[in-house]
Amino acid sequence: MEKREHVVSKKYVGRQFASIGLLLIIYALFTLIIPLVLNIYFQEAAQEIVEDKLMYYGIYFIIILFGTVIPFFLMRKLFKVTLRRFNQSIAASFIDLFVQAIVFFVVCIALTYISNLLFSYMGMEGKLISGIGLSYDDANLTYPLYVFMLIFVTPLLEEYAFRGVLLNVLSRYGKRFALVASSVIFALAHLNFAEMIPAFVMGIQLGKTELRYKSIQPTIVIHVLFNALIYALCVIPASITKYMAYGLAAIVFIAAYLIVSGRYERIRIKKLHKSKTTNILFYTSPTILIAMLLMILHSVLFSYISSR
């Protein structure tokens, strides 16, 4: 069968990437920068809002919801990403997705440990639990609305944005390019530099899953399970913390068994001719660069605030 392709000019691709970058700038401002600035304001000047937890998290919920949905909805409309990517039925069972989540969990926990070890000397430990635009501390984990946002809202919004829209918009220029580029943006959108390495790997794995099933339904399920497992580790009572190592070892053993027994389906993207031009045009696009710099600025500010 003859492969279908459409040749376009560099100028055309540049305009496309410029539009994507502009919408990513809007996303970074409204979902990352503004919530961080508001957090500083609330903590220093509006103590009554901080004490009113429903109002405090309600404001963040509204900002993050519209700050994510609106720019990526416009991106979806602009580049004509069909709704089939969001509501298409899939052949995977819950057990299949649970297996994927367990393996993802083990890999990301290992990478988080290594990343924390590297960044701990700079006072930038990560927990891979902070939702986009939300700061993490122990008090947050006891409040129901934050927990709901962490386990359900954040995975839904992130999968809609990064796998449902961005990955599919970029896929027309090559799936491997799209997989890496969308994962880079996904990693930069996390709060802490130490979180970015495991977040990048998680983005790659979730992106492969979306490409495998042509739907974000399985990635949402896996992401929810992943965040729920991380949350469970964070709220384990101090009295049984010493047993956590045994629990993690058991999860690692289960993951190893699932891989060896063939229950875990490894997803590999077919190697295609790598287009250096596409990568250069994307990573040198002024608006893409500004969006990425805003995300990096957000992480720098968060690290500075955390160290005060």
Averaged in consecutive runs of 10 residues, what is the pLDDT profile of the chain (308 residues)?
A: 66 93 96 83 68 78 91 94 70 76 82 78 59 51 80 91 94 91 94 84 92 89 86 70 69 78 75 76 96 92 72
Q: What is the pLDDT of residue 165?
A: 95
Supply the pLDDT for residue 19.
96
Number of H helices, E strands in the chain: 15, 0
Q: What is the pLDDT of residue 46?
A: 66
Nearest alpha-carbon partner for 82 in 222, 278, 216: 216
Task: Look at residue 167 in the predicted model and tell me its pLDDT.
Answer: 95
- pLDDT for 87: 66
Residue 100 has what pLDDT?
80
Which pLDDT belongs to residue 136? 46
pLDDT computed for residue 134 by the predictor: 46
**H/E run at residue 90:** none
pLDDT at residue 169 in the model: 94
- Specify the pTM: 0.87
Q: How many CB atoms lie within 10 A of CB 95?
A: 9
Q: How far is CA 276 from CA 42, 187, 203, 282, in A?
A: 45, 22, 21, 10
Q: What does the pLDDT read at residue 47?
A: 67
Q: Which of 261, 265, 254, 230 is nearest to 111 (CA)?
A: 230
String of b and e for 51-76 (b: at least 16 CB within 10 Å)? eebeebbeebbebbeebbeebbbebb
90 Cβ neighbours under 8 A, 6+ residues apart: 213, 215, 217, 218
Residue 188 has a pLDDT of 93
- Burial class of 239 by CB neighbour count within 10 A (0 to 12, 13 to 18, 19+): exposed
pLDDT of residue 282: 95
